[in-house]
Structure 1
Amino acid sequence: MTAPALGAWPTATGSAARHAPALLDWAWRQDADCPRVCLLTGGRRTGKSHLMAWLLAGSDSDPRTIVHATVPAKGQTTATMAWELGRQLGYGPLPPDELVDRVRADPRPVRLLVPDLHQAGRGPADLPAADPRTVYDELLAPLLALTHVRTAIEAGHLPLPNLDDALVLDFGPQPDSPGLHGVPPHRNHATTPPDIPAGRTPVAATASAAGPDTGRTVDWRNLSHDEREEALDRALAAGTAAQLLRDPGFLVHGSAAAITATLADPRIAAPEKLRTVWNRAAPQLSSDGPADAERGALLHLAALGTDRRLSEFLRPLAQANTWTARWNHPGRRTSAMAVLPAAGTPNGRVAAADPIGRIHLLDATGGAVVGRLSIDPKIRPVQLAPAGPACLMALEADGTLHAVPVDGSAMAPAGADFLALHHNATGLARKGDRVAAVSADGDRVVVGDAHGRIHQWSLTDPHTGPRTSHLHRNAVTALACLLLRESGVTLVITGSLDGTVRLWDSASGEAMPAPVERRNCLPTALALADTAAGPVLAVAWADRRLHLWQVFEGRMTAVPLLTEADALALTTNGLLHLGGQHGSTALQLDLDRLWS
């Protein structure tokens, strides 16, 4: 095979230029004689980081050199490194052991870059989490045990075991230069408390101010990135970390890696429920993506239903975000959801099925249980769809459809029963005809099957049979349909195992020319509603991302989720309900600002 042309890559200079050919040769080769690990060793400011950046900058120029994830290890712990690797590999933020399991089960080749491993570590200096070798032992070594993983590691002078076969690019000792021989940052070397500039103006109405227990106020918003990043490291050295952890403003604006490492030490005093709340929010807070208002909204969501005092303190900042949690029930496991319209209210009620088959009716605004549907206890719904005002279509994991009466009605509409019997019979006869998704609006019901087809039904005229279109090459995993009552047009949107979300012309059965989205991930749930901003589509993905689309404008906003969402339900005024194995919640979307 011909090697990639070095001249097509960016220009490397200095020591990096000397080692660039060897690194490029390592990057593209896949033969058994090529080491799976490349170590960049040597002193500070010798060109190691420049060479790593050079490889990353040119990696997309050849499919054989593509880098799938790059996570600078400086100041990171095993947990925060795993979260970021999971995000970049398309799995979402996962604990280290789950990440290794996912990579093991995924046969695709993986190429990783890990700059600054020798500067990894965070938290109390006497604990393993502060030692950079812990990241290697707990995360990188298990990944390197997988034969389809290749990794370039900037190791400095850090000794790493079991890498005798690695390609080593040695950059030599550190150049003589004053001021370069200090202890690497983030290793709790500080001997003074946090340097908080005087004259900061506390903002009591937001989470920029300290809580009532701290005895001081700090406007964290106006501190520099370095001041925020190093405040807890310095506080640990000064013995004042416990006071800093009682400041909700710091929790919003401070270093997520430092807070995660510090709260992992049980010796450090923290508010009673903070560790529970932080563990929920930290995987998303550790990303560089969320702005301050969204960090506040994520922490507020994690605190709702667990720490009332903290959630109320964070509410003003959360409400400045483009979405805000209205309620959260972490223990209410939910497998399916649907909005049941109610006359005179924009939100109506929400039907929510739990894993043992009970269907509760929830007040959409507050989340309180206001009723329960009578249903055969043997039924375990994984999807729900409102088929008219008095019926729900309930889909089980094995593809069985049921028509469930609402509000104590003795019988479901005849059309709903007819289409359920039809699909149950065809699914038994042919495995590919098994129902995989269902959605409904008004008298329209849309069913997706394991062959990638959709079947459109009219409840008022079911005996004419469905209109069937072959839409995907893989099974339909999620469906949403919306009847636009002014025009009579039905929007149909599908998600599939192939990672696409598509919008279909319900009249012709033809897809729009390009997918709404295509990702290397599974869409787990869809919801669609006609709002003041026009039709809005919510897409939940398996990597804990929620994408919100303004359908006619083609604009999208991404929202990080604290847990996976297996079910979505959206009201006309932008109240989005999410459910999954870790609980249920409702987010109020600011439809005026969401896509600004």
Structure 2
Amino acid sequence: MPDISGLRLRKPGAGREPAASALLGWLTDERSPQLCVLTGPAGAGKSHLLAWLVEYGTTSADTTKRRVHAVAPLGGTGLRGAAWLLADHLRLAARAPAELTAAIARDGRHTVLVLCELHLSRAPEAVLEQLVRPLLQLGHVRLIIESRPGAPCTEHLFEQTRNSAVMDLMDPRWTTPETFSRWALATDPAADAEQCYPLPGPVVRSEQVTETSPSLDSFVLAAETMVRADPHAVTAWLDHHAGAAERESDLGRAWLRAGQSLCVSDTASARALTLVAALDSDTGTDTRHALHGLAQSEPWHVAHTSTREGVSGHWPGPATALCAGTALHARHVLCAGHLGDVRLLDPTNGRAVGRLTSPHNGPAAAIFCLPDGTVVAVDDFGGVNLVGEAPRRPGLRALLEPDADPWTRLRRAVLAFPQRMAGATLTTAASLPDGAVFGDSGGRVHVLLLKENTVDVTSSMLHDGPVTALTGISLEGTGPTVVYSGGVDGRIRVWSPGVAPMPEPLLHGPGPVVDLSASGSEGRSAALAVAQGDGLVQLLDLDSGTDLSFRPGPPVRAVCCLRTGAGELRTMIGMDDCITTLVPRPSRIHNSR
């Protein structure tokens, strides 16, 4: 079957050219229903046809309308598992079906989703009610659902969505007899093509395989049992069969919080690391000790975690932005929340030890601490606000000559910088060892450096679209300033003011960069923490080129990379209901780039 560009593509096989053409026509016809139900008995070739459709969308030159953006095999999964599978393919972090639907709604681009084997889901009715129905309310979404005829969920699907396209592969119009016979003879010369038509299953296997809905075993709510079991089965059990006490237990809440990451982890040790990172540090020591032991082979160690449900009351609140403190805040990590206030966190245990008030009572897009300890926030509207009080210089000269202080000049330049913007809005900012850096909605990065008695401003166009993340360090602790910027274009650019930006990005991902944080000091290797829009966190050693990755599960809002007084490198990850800090194991660092 050639596409319009003349590129020869693999045929669907088994005489299914009519079915393949009909599916492609459904995808490209704007008048066709949002939903297509693909049905047929076992051996009808439903999965084979869908696999061909997905391959066609990634191989054909004309893929604007024909591309399948996400596929979720529902066999053995529950409601959350189905949502997480789709979110993984769409490169989104979504804790629940409603969060996934909201993210797809905000995106607004044409999206084709495929749900396979609905009849084998552990919670098909919940999938229909809480995932399929909301998705069909979005006009830019198209759904293909595969389900077995006669299954209760299939009948329910037909009742709910009467205006849908239905393709029953038992209907002869979807399979050409002559082509089917030739295919059957080539596949198995002993096959009786006439007897098998239109089912390809009996041709490719000697015995008919009967698919049954998997039984849902009970699980012991214990750390080791959970991380060694099928993660989708554990999730479905917690979601649909466990009691409220089990769901609301420390382990139950942690599992559902980190479930999207747990369900894609390949090993029990990786799941143990993810689960212990989602567990509050005040959880019973036996549970945490067991998980730490199982995660010994992983390249990270979890230093501490604070969660909304923690019993000790040390939860600092949701994190919208993080940064390392300077001067009088040098021993703290600054954490901005949804209401504008900034909490001072102890990096050794993650607990809030102080609070700074802000005149802006909304979430901060960025927070940074100038070299003299001045705390500044950028709000969602591009405004720049002082948080708390500005540091005061001691002595009589500070009173008589307030403008003589170079840090005062820098502070004034930073707070007044939005007035210099024309045609763009500030979107993010960060401190530098000798100044500050801003990013705007047009893709430009602006560096403010304190030089003798003046504040120099240097700007460069670095991104296609808004700048979303910034950080900077001095090489070797005292050398030239280096700025790292991330944008909605997925690029991380490197730039030193006064020098042309590096032509190629340091990294280029498929989704937006959420946050960046660099740590550099004399005598120690520089490191860069990266938070991606799909929930992935990376720690890059900028000297050796090695990197470590971790996916906590929930959407990541902010990261902070810092060294403790003892020189230990730590990465703090801020989320809506969890803040966790990881320490890389030096002997386990590997090159995964």
TM-score over 0.5 for the pair:
yes
Give the Cα separation in 2 of the matches to 1:142 and 1:373: 40
**Does structure 2 retain, via aligned residues, the 8 Å contact 1:245–1:270?**
no
**Are residues 563 and 100 of structure 1, via their aligned partners in 2, closer, same or farther at CA, if it must alter by over 3 Å?**
closer
Moved more, 63-72 or 566-575: 566-575
The 5 A counterparts of 1:147-162 are 147-157=139-149, 158-159=154-155, 160-161=157-158, 162=161
Give the Cα separation in 1 of the matches to 2:409 and 2:512: 31
Moved more, 147-156 or 263-272: 263-272
Amino acid corresponding to residue 134 of structure 2 in structure 1: P
**Are residues 409 and 569 of structure 1, via their aligned partners in 2, closer, same or farther at CA, if it must alter by over 3 Å?**
farther
% identical equivalent positions = 24
Amino acid corresponding to residue 502 of structure 2 in structure 1: M
**Does structure 1 retain, via aligned residues, the 8 Å contact 2:35–2:143?**
yes
* Aligned-partner SS, 2:102: helix
Where in structure 1 are there 5+ consecutive unaligned residues?
Answer: 123-128, 189-232
* Aligned-partner SS, 1:419: helix
Is 1:54 paired with 2:52?
Answer: yes
Is 1:527 paired with 2:517?
Answer: yes
**Does structure 1 retain, via aligned residues, the 8 Å contact 2:260–2:554?**
no
Q: Could you give the per-residue CA deviations for residues 366-408 of structure 1, whole angstroms, max 9, x where no partner exists?
A: 2244x53665666775533343264444434442143867888
Q: Which residue of 1 aligns with 2:277?
A: 301
Give the Cα separation in 2 of the matches to 1:22 and 1:316: 54
* Aligned-partner SS, 1:571: strand
**Are residues 537 and 521 of structure 1, via their aligned partners in 2, closer, same or farther at CA, if it must alter by over 3 Å?**
same
Match of 1:467 among 432, 451, 458: 458
Q: Which residue of 2 aligns with 1:168?
A: 167
**Are residues 321 and 355 of structure 1, via their aligned partners in 2, closer, same or farther at CA, if it must alter by over 3 Å?**
same
Deviation, structure 1 residue 564: 2.8
Amino acid corresponding to residue 516 of structure 1 in structure 2: L
**Are residues 429 and 325 of structure 1, via their aligned partners in 2, closer, same or farther at CA, if it must alter by over 3 Å?**
same
Q: Which residue of 2 aligns with 1:318?
A: 295
**Does structure 1 retain, via aligned residues, the 8 Å contact 2:83–2:97?**
yes
Give the Cα separation in 1 of the matches to 2:290 and 2:532: 30
Give the Cα separation in 1 of the matches to 2:20 and 2:306: 53
Is 1:500 paired with 2:491?
Answer: yes
* Aligned-partner SS, 2:73: coil
Moved more, 421-430 or 109-118: 421-430
Q: Which residue of 1 aligns with 2:354?
A: 372
Deviation, structure 1 residue 425: 3.4
Give the Cα separation in 2 of the matches to 1:245 and 1:407: 55
* Aligned-partner SS, 1:482: strand
**Are residues 503 and 169 of structure 1, via their aligned partners in 2, closer, same or farther at CA, if it must alter by over 3 Å?**
farther
Give the Cα separation in 2 of the matches to 1:486 and 1:533: 9
* Aligned-partner SS, 1:101: helix
Q: Which residue of 2 aligns with 1:81?
A: 82
Give the Cα separation in 1 of the matches to 2:242 and 2:266: 28
Deviation, structure 1 residue 164: 4.6
Deviation, structure 1 residue 180: 4.3
The 5 A counterparts of 1:106-117 are 106-117=107-118
Give the Cα separation in 2 of the matches to 1:137 and 1:384: 41
Give the Cα separation in 2 of the matches to 1:595 and 1:489: 28
Give the Cα separation in 2 of the matches to 1:504 and 1:9: 44
Amino acid corresponding to residue 354 of structure 2 in structure 1: R
Q: Which residue of 2 aligns with 1:286?
A: 263
Give the Cα separation in 2 of the matches to 1:403 and 1:419: 15
The 5 A counterparts of 1:48-447 are 48-62=46-60, 63-64=63-64, 65-120=66-121, 122=122, 129=123, 132-157=124-149, 158-159=154-155, 160-161=157-158, 162-171=161-170, 175=202, 180=208, 182=210, 184-186=212-214, 188=215, 233=216, 236=217, 241=218, 244-264=219-239, 265-267=241-243, 270=246, 272-287=249-264, 289-305=265-281, 307-308=283-284, 309-331=286-308, 332-333=316-317, 334-340=319-325, 348-369=331-352, 371-372=353-354, 382-388=365-371, 390-398=373-381, 399-402=383-386, 414-428=405-419, 430=421, 432=423, 434-447=425-438
Q: Which residue of 2 aligns with 1:575?
A: 570
Match of 1:559 among 543, 550, 556: 550
In the superposition, the TM-score normalised over structure 1's length comes to 0.78
* Aligned-partner SS, 2:290: helix
Q: Could you give the per-residue CA deviations for residues 329-372 of structure 1, whole angstroms, max 9, x where no partner exists?
A: 113223333223689xxx94323344445444333222244x53
**Does structure 1 retain, via aligned residues, the 8 Å contact 2:299–2:585?**
yes
Give the Cα separation in 1 of the matches to 2:374 and 2:524: 28
Deviation, structure 1 residue 300: 0.7
Q: Which residue of 1 aligns with 2:21?
A: 21
**Are residues 446 and 592 of structure 1, via their aligned partners in 2, closer, same or farther at CA, if it must alter by over 3 Å?**
farther
Q: Could you give the per-residue CA deviations for residues 304-332 of structure 1, whole angstroms, max 9, x where no partner exists?
A: 33522422221122343112221111132
**Are residues 476 and 183 of structure 1, via their aligned partners in 2, closer, same or farther at CA, if it must alter by over 3 Å?**
closer
Is 1:30 paired with 2:24?
Answer: no
**Does structure 1 retain, via aligned residues, the 8 Å contact 2:378–2:385?**
yes
**Are residues 569 and 415 of structure 1, via their aligned partners in 2, closer, same or farther at CA, if it must alter by over 3 Å?**
farther
**Does structure 1 retain, via aligned residues, the 8 Å contact 2:529–2:539?**
yes
Moved more, 162-171 or 100-109: 162-171
**Does structure 2 retain, via aligned residues, the 8 Å contact 1:15–1:47?**
no
**Does structure 2 retain, via aligned residues, the 8 Å contact 1:337–1:350?**
yes
Deviation, structure 1 residue 581: 3.0
**Are residues 429 and 536 of structure 1, via their aligned partners in 2, closer, same or farther at CA, if it must alter by over 3 Å?**
closer
Give the Cα separation in 1 of the matches to 2:510 and 2:82: 21
Deviation, structure 1 residue 498: 3.3
**Are residues 462 and 575 of structure 1, via their aligned partners in 2, closer, same or farther at CA, if it must alter by over 3 Å?**
farther
**Does structure 2 retain, via aligned residues, the 8 Å contact 1:536–1:548?**
yes
Q: Which residue of 1 aligns with 2:41?
A: 43
* Aligned-partner SS, 2:103: helix
**Are residues 140 and 555 of structure 1, via their aligned partners in 2, closer, same or farther at CA, if it must alter by over 3 Å?**
farther
- In the alignment of these two chains, the number of paired residues is 525
**Does structure 2 retain, via aligned residues, the 8 Å contact 1:16–1:48?**
no
Match of 1:480 among 450, 455, 471: 471
Deviation, structure 1 residue 592: 4.2
Where in structure 2 are there 5+ consecutive unaligned residues?
Answer: 171-197, 309-315
**Does structure 1 retain, via aligned residues, the 8 Å contact 2:357–2:387?**
no
